[in-house]
């Protein structure tokens, strides 16, 4: 049986108040602090003991179990885990310890900025494509200035041969404590910005940043079917990480130039065509262009009205979401002829008379025109 006397460890009486326990531990902790006792295993052991004693005695429930049944009861209660027991010390004494307790007891909770590997930043570029390129897909070369890890310092920002130094202001904790009368406030250390280290010998090549900008040429495959607003993500082609993380991603935002004839609407391609009166009335075959530079014959049936649309399946753009291929929508506009020759006019007059249609020509007065309208 282990009869550790936790009260003796902290140097207090068995009926000490919570305030007294706290005070006693603070005093012990300062005295035994590993920063003040470097490479002193005995001080380290005592420091751990005192921390454990505090974690038990500062918790009324655990203190009661300890008072009644002894140290072993606490040890075996299942309530005893390094994490749950020692984390409260942070809340009470985080100011004196900074990172230390986490390192000691195997859990991290501190205000110091950890330099964990972080992913590099993403890069966004805009890419303007011809209409056809967007519909058919294309391979493009883009040139991007991006962060690359500095070869001289390998990203550390420190001139080779030197190291970063522990910040003298905060002693590497990353925070400083400012007392204002009754209160004391913890603040990010202004000397090191919370990193706990300072760089007295910045790398000359990158000026201590750890990265340099380089132009990178990349071949990018643009899939068929993209449109203005499409975003293409290319993994691991963004900015380099300066602390060993993976690269960021490259995002390409597509912008498509308008076409002379074609218009995109989703996966459909619209084409407006014009036919004459006679063609609309009698029917005709038009040779129409496609986006890939070919052409096809399309039949306009006799009697087609102006504004009629025809849908041709499978002649649109490829769907990016895998819905197959869109349609081509052909809209027919019937164009009224202007500047007719005398012979053409005569033919129209004949046609109108044949169909029993009244008409007036430029010479007509306004009165005649109105009368004609109501007939
Ligand atoms: Zn460098
Ligand atoms: Zn500092």
Question: Same domain for 127 and 18?
Answer: no
User: What pLDDT is recorded for position 94?
Assistant: 57
Question: Same domain for 228 and 138?
Answer: yes
Q: Which ligand neighbours the alpha carbon of 152 most closely?
A: 1
Q: Which ligand neighbours the alpha carbon of 242 most closely?
A: 1
Question: What is the CATH classification number for the domain harbouring 331?
Answer: 2.60.260.20
User: What pLDDT is recorded for position 275?
Assistant: 96
Sign of the alpha-carbon torsion through 188, 190, 192, 196: negative
User: Closest Cα to residue 56, out of 89, 31, 23?
Assistant: 89
Question: Same domain for 236 and 134?
Answer: yes
Ligand 2 centroid vs 201 CA: distance in angstroms? 16
Question: Same domain for 22 and 88?
Answer: yes
- Position 111 in a domain: no
**pLDDT tens per residue, the chain (375 residues)?**
567 899 999 999 988 888 888 889 888 888 887 777 777 888 888 888 888 888 888 888 888 888 888 888 777 665 454 434 455 565 566 555 554 554 454 433 444 555 677 889 999 999 999 999 999 999 999 999 999 999 999 888 999 999 999 999 998 888 888 776 677 778 888 899 888 899 999 999 999 988 999 999 999 999 999 999 999 999 999 999 877 789 999 999 999 999 999 999 999 999 999 999 999 999 999 999 999 899 999 999 999 999 999 999 999 999 988 889 999 999 999 999 988 999 999 999 999 999 999 888 755 455 555 666 665
Ligand 2 centroid vs 304 CA: distance in angstroms? 82
Q: What gap in Å lies between CA 52 and CA 108, rounded to an integer?
A: 17
User: What pLDDT is recorded for position 36?
Assistant: 76
User: Closest Cα to residue 312, out of 288, 294, 334, 279?
Assistant: 288
Number of domains composing the chain: 4
Question: Same domain for 272 and 145?
Answer: no
Phi-psi region of 14 (alpha: psi -120 to 50; beta: other; left: phi over 0): alpha
C-beta contacts of 293-301 below 8 A and 24+ residues apart: 293/132, 298/330, 300/273, 300/275, 300/332
Ligand 2 centroid vs 209 CA: distance in angstroms? 18
Question: Same domain for 367 and 321?
Answer: no
- Position 25 in a domain: yes
Q: What gap in Å lies between CA 233 and CA 249, rounded to an integer?
A: 7
Query: Is the separation of the CB atoms in 137 and 292 below 8 Å?
Result: no
Q: What gap in Å lies between CA 282 and CA 290, rounded to an integer?
A: 25
Q: Helix, strand, coil % (nearest 5) of the chain? A: 30, 25, 45
User: What pLDDT is recorded for position 91?
Assistant: 56
Ligand 2 centroid vs 115 CA: distance in angstroms? 14
User: What pLDDT is recorded for position 107?
Assistant: 39
List residues, by chain if needed, whose CB lies under 5 Å from ion ligand 2.
Answer: 167, 169-170, 189, 191-192
**What domain range includes position 138?**
122-152+203-257
Question: Same domain for 244 and 281?
Answer: no
Ligand 2 centroid vs 198 CA: distance in angstroms? 8
User: What pLDDT is recorded for position 141?
Assistant: 95
Ligand 1 centroid vs 103 CA: distance in angstroms? 30
User: If you ran DSSP here, which 8-state letter would residue 49 be given?
Assistant: H
Ligand 1 centroid vs 199 CA: distance in angstroms? 12
User: If you ran DSSP here, which 8-state letter would residue 241 be given?
Assistant: P
User: What pLDDT is recorded for position 352?
Assistant: 92
Ligand 1 centroid vs 205 CA: distance in angstroms? 5
Q: What is the pTM for the complete model shown?
A: 0.57
List C-alpha distances in Å: 219 to 125, 167, 237, 322.
Answer: 14, 45, 11, 24
């Amino acid at each position: 049986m282990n009869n550790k006397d936790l009260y003796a460890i902290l140097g207090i009486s068995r009926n000490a108040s919570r305030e007294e326990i706290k005070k006693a531990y603070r005093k012990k902790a300062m005295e035994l602090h590993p920063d003040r006792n470097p490479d002193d295993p005995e001080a380290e052991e005592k420091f751990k003991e005192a921390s454990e004693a505090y974690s038990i005695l500062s918790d009324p429930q655990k203190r009661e179990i300890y008072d009644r049944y002894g140290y072993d009861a606490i040890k075996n209660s299942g309530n005893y885990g390094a994490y749950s027991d020692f984390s409260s010390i942070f809340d009470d004494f985080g100011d004196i310890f900074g990172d230390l307790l986490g390192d000691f007891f195997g859990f991290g909770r501190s205000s110091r900025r950890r330099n964990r590997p972080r992913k590099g930043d993403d890069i966004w570029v805009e890419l303007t494509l011809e209409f056809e390129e967007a519909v058919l897909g294309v391979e493009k070369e883009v040139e991007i200035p991006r962060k690359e890890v500095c070869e001289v310092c390998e990203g550390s920002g420190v001139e080779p041969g030197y190291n970063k130094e522990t910040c003298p202001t905060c002693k590497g904790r990353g925070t400083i404590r400012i007392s204002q009368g009754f209160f004391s406030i913890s603040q990010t250390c202004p000397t090191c910005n919370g990193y706990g280290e300072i760089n007295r010998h910045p790398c000359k090549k990158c000026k201590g940043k750890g990265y340099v900008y380089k132009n990178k040429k990349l071949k990018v495959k643009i899939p068929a079917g993209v449109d203005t607003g499409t975003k293409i993500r290319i993994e691991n082609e963004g900015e380099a990480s300066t602390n060993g993380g993976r690269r960021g991603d490259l995002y390409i935002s597509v912008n498509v130039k308008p076409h002379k004839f074609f218009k995109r609407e989703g996966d459909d391609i619209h084409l407006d065509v014009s036919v004459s009166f006679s063609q609309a009335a009698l029917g005709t075959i038009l040779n129409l262009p496609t986006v890939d530079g070919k052409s096809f014959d399309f039949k306009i049936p006799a009697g087609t009205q102006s504004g009629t649309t025809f849908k041709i399946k499978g002649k649109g753009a490829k769907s990016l979401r895998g819905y197959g291929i869109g349609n081509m929508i052909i809209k027919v506009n019937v164009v009224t002829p202007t500047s007719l020759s005398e012979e053409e006019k005569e033919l129209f007059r004949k046609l109108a008379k044949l169909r029993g249609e009244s008409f007036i020509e430029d010479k007509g007065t306004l009165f005649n025109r109105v009368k004609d309208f109501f007939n």
